[in-house]
């Protein structure tokens, strides 16, 4: 028998509660008949919830397996697996967590609040009445780069698109260098993109008492973007050189950790670790309630941290959603193949 290689295993639960898997597999050499090939799913009590299998003969060419089913909200494990008839044996591939979130009615309500802003990116292109693309005062001269903040970003048209009901950010080597880093020297620039409610006519701003939430797919996982080294996605607020509350920042070199931050007044930061929910390639819902005396962060609908600072009574600030790239000073530089960061929706409730 020839080894089967799993190049990727992607999972996504849509807003109707259906969980979809896509697995790319191939043989290292030769061929092998799988009878069947499937994705196995187990809950934490050992219950089986496997996706429908398919009989296929794998070769060195990549094969894409897809399947869908409705799973109850909760925590699972999943892995690719295939049955090899000549040896009457199941062979298991890479195992990873699967988190099925509670299904929200979009835009619905959150924390007893009504929706005030919402974009689920269902209709291409990116809605420029809601978002400014690659235009933000958080970068010098509103972009295209920001080396002084230890970033090798370079804004580029087309590196964020609306596709498949998601905003898809792509980071890729730009093929030239930029300078101006605090540590000196020049580094390879990487094309990426930035969405902001600043610099558009509508100019939506988050206010005191609002709840800001997004459902995102963290960079990385098995496959061509396996490590997503240097990835630095974030959802945050910004206005006039201040107004920064970080709903989250993520770095795949700390694969199970989210960074929360409130940079108003005395400021505060918090590192949240959860290996079941947070990992490269995970879909996760992250939000922050902008209380006057406390900012409270939520992950997959549960409150996980509250600071003692808050945003004050007169807070207002624009929404930023972006994929930055680290310069290697605090986190690894990007290298190798392009990788992506995706958002299912961004919403504010007040």
The CATH number of the domain where 17 resides is what? 2.60.40.10
Q: Is 313 exposed, middle or buried (0-12, 13-18, 19+ CB in 10 A)?
A: exposed
Q: Are residues 170 and 35 in the same domain?
A: no
Which domain-ending residue is among 41, 65, 100?
A: 100
Domain count, the chain: 2
Q: Are residues 141 and 269 in the same domain?
A: yes
Q: Are residues 259 and 340 in the same domain?
A: yes
Q: Hey, which bits of 88-193 come out as E strands?
A: 89-100, 109-110, 113-119, 132-133, 153-155, 160-163, 166-179, 186-192
- Pick from 266, 195, 199: nearest CA to 239: 199
This prediction has a pTM of: 0.84
Residue 179 has pLDDT above 90, yes or no: yes
Region 73-77: mean pLDDT is 89
Residue 165 has pLDDT above 50, yes or no: yes
Q: Residue 88's domain spans which residues?
A: 4-100
Please give the helix or strand (H or E) that residue 248 lies within, else none: strand 245-250
CA separation for the pair 263, 309 (Å, rounded): 9
pLDDT at 98: 87
Q: Are residues 141 and 38 in the same domain?
A: no
Q: Is 232 exposed, middle or buried (0-12, 13-18, 19+ CB in 10 A)?
A: buried
Q: Are residues 237 and 194 in the same domain?
A: yes
Q: Are residues 115 and 255 in the same domain?
A: yes
Top-confidence range, 146-160, 215-229, 274-288: 146-160
Q: Are residues 330 and 221 in the same domain?
A: yes
Q: Are residues 124 and 269 in the same domain?
A: yes
Which domain-ending residue is among 100, 125, 159?
A: 100
Residue 147 has pLDDT above 60, yes or no: yes
Q: Are residues 57 and 74 in the same domain?
A: yes
CATH code where residue 146 lies: 2.60.120.200
pLDDT at 309: 93
Which domain-ending residue is among 100, 125, 157?
A: 100
Q: Which residue has the higher pLDDT, 37 or 94?
A: 37
């Amino acid at each position: 028998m020839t080894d089967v290689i799993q190049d990727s295993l992607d999972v996504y639960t849509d807003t109707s509660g259906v969980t979809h898997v896509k697995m790319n597999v191939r043989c290292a050499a030769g061929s092998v008949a799988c009878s069947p090939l499937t994705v196995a799913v187990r809950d934490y009590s050992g219950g089986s919830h496997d996706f429908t299998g398919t009989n296929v003969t794998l070769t060195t060419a990549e094969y894409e397996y897809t399947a869908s089913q409705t799973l109850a909200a909760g925590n699972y494990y999943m892995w690719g697996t295939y049955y090899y008839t000549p040896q009457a044996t199941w062979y298991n591939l890479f195992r990873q967590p699967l988190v099925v979130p509670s299904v929200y009615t979009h835009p619905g309500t959150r924390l007893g609040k009504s929706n005030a802003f919402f974009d689920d990116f269902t209709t291409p292109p990116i809605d420029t009445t809601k978002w400014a693309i690659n235009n933000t005062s958080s970068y010098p001269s509103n972009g295209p780069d920001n080396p002084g903040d230890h970033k090798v970003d370079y804004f580029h048209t087309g590196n964020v698109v609306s596709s498949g009901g998601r905003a898809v950010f792509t980071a890729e080597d730009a093929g030239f260098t930029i300078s101006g880093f605090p540590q000196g020297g020049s580094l390879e620039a990487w094309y990426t993109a930035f969405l902001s409610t600043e610099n558009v006519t509508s100019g939506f701003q988050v206010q005191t008492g609002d709840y800001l939430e997004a459902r995102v797919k963290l960079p990385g996982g098995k496959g061509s973007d396996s490590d997503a080294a240097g990835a630095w996605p974030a959802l945050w607020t910004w206005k006039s050189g201040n107004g920064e509350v970080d709903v989250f920042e993520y770095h795949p070199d700390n694969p199970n950790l989210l960074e929360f931050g409130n940079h108003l007044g005395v400021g505060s930061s918090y590192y949240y670790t959860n290996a079941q929910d947070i990992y490269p390639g995970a879909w996760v819902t992250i939000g922050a309630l902008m209380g006057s005396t406390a900012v409270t962060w939520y992950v997959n609908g549960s409150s996980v941290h509250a600071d003692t600072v808050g945003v004050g009574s007169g807070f207002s600030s624009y929404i930023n959603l972006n994929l930055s790239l680290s310069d290697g000073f605090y986190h690894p530089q990007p290298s190798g193949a392009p990788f992506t960061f995706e958002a299912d929706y961004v919403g504010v409730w007040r």
